[in-house]
Amino acid sequence: MKKIALLLSKYTFWGFTLFSIIAIPLSLLAFLEYYFNWDFPFIEIVKRDTLDFAKINNIGIEFWLKYTVVSMWATLIFYSIYFYTLKNFFGVFISARTFEEESLKQFIKFYKLNFVPVFIGFIGIIIQFASINKFEFDEPHFFVIIHLIVAFFLYFYLDLIRKGNNIQQENDLTI
């Protein structure tokens, strides 16, 4: 089961990274096509109501051509890093010595990384509440809650790993 989790995390990391490597340059080209009127054959600028969207043909990516392209880039880069640390996190369980200092560092990285979307989501909630004076539960808030729950469980697991690390260090000193 541990090997399956590690394998799935590796495939998720490589799949998401490959998608990011394709999507970011294509969205940059769409951004350039929109603002400089260049013409790329695989990118189409679509107008809906008063909003301009870029559609990347044959891939199925469509996005609003304002600040959302930058947030899309940030999200793709963040989750590429996130799945990389998840892969390393699951790799700790395959190693012979789970309670080593390096394993503890991997857990701490993954634990701290889960607070990035929580912090950004909290700022987004404050901005949303300040602009429309009410709170609406949207899809991004669901991701914030998931990361908060993961961080909550990782906190307890991290404490367990720290205690195991201390016991292993004491055991290594007595032998």
* pLDDT at residue 175, rounded to an integer: 57
Burial class of residue 63 (count of CB atoms within 10 Å of its CB; 0-12, 13-18, 19+)? middle
* pLDDT at residue 33, rounded to an integer: 85
* pLDDT at residue 50, rounded to an integer: 81
Residue in 93, 71, 85 with CA at minimum distance from that of residue 23:
71
Tokens of 140: 């991004």
Cα 175 from Cα 161, distance rounded (Å): 21
CB atoms under 10 Å from CB of 103, counted, come to 20
* pLDDT at residue 8, rounded to an integer: 92
Tens-digit pLDDT string for the chain (175 aa)? 778 988 999 999 999 999 999 888 888 888 888 888 888 888 888 888 888 888 888 777 888 877 778 888 888 999 999 999 999 888 887 876 667 777 788 888 988 999 998 898 888 778 877 877 777 777 777 888 898 999 999 888 888 888 887 887 777 767 5
**What pTM was computed for the model?**
0.80
Q: Is the Cβ–Cβ distance between 147 and 117 less than 8 Å?
A: yes
DSSP string, 32-65: HHHHH----TTEEEEEETTEEEEEETTTTEEEES
Query: How many residues are listed for the chain in this entry?
Result: 175
* pLDDT at residue 20, rounded to an integer: 92
Cα 175 from Cα 155, distance rounded (Å): 30
Which alpha helices (DSSP H) does 55-114 contain, by range? 68-94, 101-113
* pLDDT at residue 96, rounded to an integer: 63
